[in-house]
Chains A and B, each alone.
Chain A
Amino acid sequence: MRDIFLEEVYRIMKREDIFFLSDDFGSPVLDQLRRDFPERFVNVGIAEQNLINLAAGLALEGWTVYAYGIAAFLSMRAYEQVRVNLAMLSQWRDINVNLVAVGAGVSYDVSGPSHHCLEDLGLMRMLPNMTVFSPSDGILCEEIADYTAKASGPKYIRLDGKALPNLYKGIGAEELKCGFSEIRRGEKLCIVATGYMTHRALAACESLKSEIIDVGVIDVFLLKPFDEGKLFETLERYDGIVTLEEGFVNKGGLDGLISSLLEKNGSRKSLAALGFKDAYTFDVGNREYLHRLNQLDEESILRTIKSMLD
């Protein structure tokens, strides 16, 4: 995912005035970018606060800026810098700064809780003027890279630390702005997921097919701003909704987005929020293991679905 996104940025850099800043974070594509655009690529060192303000300064001079780093650090180490220099400033000035945050959720599984990123969706959604992307595959990444190069404003792009298989064949600019896609149609119940968890949702639904339970899946890849009317319309067709995210629940992430949308529209559907509870996970293990500990494995998801259908 990361590489697909960066490859697209690399292509755009060939024709547009883009400055690329790295928070001492690498990738093979980045080596190419560094080689071909030595003047417009800077590894700022391990210094997130300086990174964000430097990006703001460059953006004020007219550059489109990409700031690239590990999600947990890019989103939280310099949160106040993001608030003052990107979110506030962009309310009055056109600046194009894109925070490319790699390591969504627990994708850096065995690196431990310092490298897990379970707070960013809520934190970034809270900031006025911020656009928040959370793509689930490479096709979306490409389209998001194109969009971010053109559209003004500060944006947070939450990318998985691991490569994920493609879910989409293609996605148009309008579809992207809509913010979500109902990638699997169901009957009574649907799972609203984002990023890696969309894959998990699809797998869970597949395993229910044998029991003739048809559960829908809505992939939310743009958490702010998105087409609220259209999303509500889609949710309306279902009796119950399960939100599924690799983030803390009840903290303004995907579950908060859905519950406030339903509330705003006076809907009283049954709603279950699956995600990380109010505690950090210190146990060492791969993603599957960490999910099982936090009842986010397929079995737990199926249990929730079945209990809602009863």
Chain B
Amino acid sequence: MIHRAGSGHPGGALSLVEILAELYARRMRFDPEHPDWPDRDRLILSKGHGVPALYAALAWYGYFPKEELLTLRRTDGRLEGHPDRCRVPGIEASTGSLGQGLSIGIGHALSGRLDQRTYRTFVILGDGEIQEGQVWEAALFASAHRLDNLTAFIDCNGFQLDDAVEKILSIEPVAEKWESFGWAVREIDGHSLGEIEEAIRWADGVRGKPSVIVARTVKGKGVSFMEGNNDFHGRAPTDEEFEHAMKELGAHPEREAFL
């Protein structure tokens, strides 16, 4: 997708693949035929640049044809480089401007509680993203209002655009910060399906406070030369790199055929 588009964010998309896979395959209630079904679980990808991974999940479950994935960032297409709630079915919030998704999720969660609906709102944030002040306004609010139908994931892949998060503006200790803001916190390996599944089950059981799952991940996970290599934060692989990556992933190197 990103190779075909010629631009995009492979690193931050690959780090959240397992989280999305676990949510869509095993946990979330949704109906691609009825994207606005009132009882669906809400998923907001607050780190909007990771959207290729979300598009893949949405296409896999039939929100739109898989072939459309190759129109990412293409003129006349609708798959923008960041999520667009207005035109792409299955997208809950238009993000891309970082730090804003958790607050939107709070709106959904508040409404769900008042309407006595049973849906859960999931919000996925990046680790660099939580440098934004608005995230902490939202964190305060969610715990003050005991929104236990709200679960956040923090995809801690360790990097932001310019360099390692730790070098630029450290957010550690992440778990303790959220705990002190009144959230129930669980720290996991964000690439272990078993740990993700267990953490989601744990979050479903938390009462009286919002829950956050701090997922330790590897940026560019799954492709050896992208793993932990921040050169792939915001650039597409070359033809050679693409074929190499496809081989490593066990996919057919022919671009069209891998679909």
Contact = CB atoms under 8 A, between A and B. Distances in A.
A138 to B, nearest CB: 31
Interface in B83-112: 85-87, 93-94, 97, 99-100, 103-112
Contacts of A92: 85-87
Contact of A58 (B86, B110, B134, B138): B110
Contact of B85 (A40, A45, A93): A93
Contact of B107 (A39, A58, A80): A58
Contact of B100 (A44, A63, A85): A85
Interface residues of A, number: 30
Interface string B9-37: 00000000000000000000000000000
A85 B104 contact: yes
B133 A56 contact: no
A61 interface: yes
A44 B85 contact: no
B101 to A, nearest CB: 8
B150 to A, nearest CB: 11
Contacts of A62: 111
B148 to A, nearest CB: 17
B188 interface: no
A55 B100 CA distance: 12
Contacts of B141: 44-45, 47, 50, 54
A200 to B, nearest CB: 38
A250 interface: no
Interface string B125-143: 0000000011001101100
B103 A49 contact: yes
Nearest to A65: B107
B97 A80 contact: yes
Contacts of B85: 89, 92-93
A284 to B, nearest CB: 31
A170 interface: no
Interface residues of B, number: 28
B106 A54 contact: yes
Contact of B111 (A44, A49, A58, A85): A58
B111 A47 contact: no
Interface in A59-90: 59-63, 80-81, 84-85, 88-89
B104 A54 contact: yes
Contacts of B109: 57
Nearest to B134: A49
Contacts of A63: 111
A89 B86 contact: yes
Interface of B: 85-87, 93-94, 97, 99-100, 103-112, 114-115, 133-134, 137-138, 140-141, 144-145
Interface of A: 19, 39-40, 42, 44-45, 47, 49-50, 52-63, 80-81, 84-85, 88-89, 91-93
14 contacts: A42-B110, A42-B145, A45-B144, A47-B134, A49-B103, A50-B106, A50-B141, A53-B100, A53-B106, A54-B107, A57-B111, A81-B100, A89-B94, A92-B85
Given A42-B110, A61-B111, A61-B112, 4 more contacts: A19-B111, A49-B99, A53-B104, A55-B107
